Amino acid sequence: MKIAEIKPDAVGAFASLLCIIHCIATPVIFVAHACSIHESDVTPLWWSGIDILFLGIAFFAIKHAVKHQTKKRISLALWINWSLLALAVLNDKFVFFELPHYINYILAISLAILHLYNLKYCNCKSDQCCMPVK
């Protein structure tokens, strides 16, 4: 399979799914960690950096997905959703203000849904059916 054949929306939806799994697994891992040692507030750096990795993957998936987009509203929705998710993740790290944690789940799920919608309704075999948005 050629790398050029990989659909950016499929990558974006998969990254969003992994992000959701990461968010759900975090409390479970920390409970297990707390049971094994006394200093349970220590977060491994590699684990806290995974969400930034997912944001980066999602950014490039959206960047490539909107190049051949026929619906300008979907492109805008993808970018707005990603921006809100990035702000929510940064808020989790630096706590600018109190925000319910389920907001991250909602934003990640909606980003995956937008990618799947974009994949289904702009599934072009050639560049002629989906002209780039200007």
Domain boundaries, the chain: 7-121
Greater pLDDT, 105 or 84 = 84
pLDDT at 133 exceeding the cut of 80? no
pLDDT at 99 exceeding the cut of 80? yes
pLDDT at 66 exceeding the cut of 70? yes
Give the confidence band of 109 by pLDDT, cuts at 50, 70, 90: confident
pLDDT at 88 exceeding the cut of 80? yes
The single residue listed with the structure tokens 């490039």 is 60
Extract long-range pairs of 23-28: CB within 8 Å, 24+ residues apart: 23/51, 23/101, 23/104, 23/105, 23/108
pLDDT at 104 exceeding the cut of 70? yes
pTM (two decimals): 0.67
Greater pLDDT, 127 or 27 = 27
Q: Which helix (H) or strand (E) holds 108?
A: helix 102-121
Mean pLDDT value across residues 75-99:
90
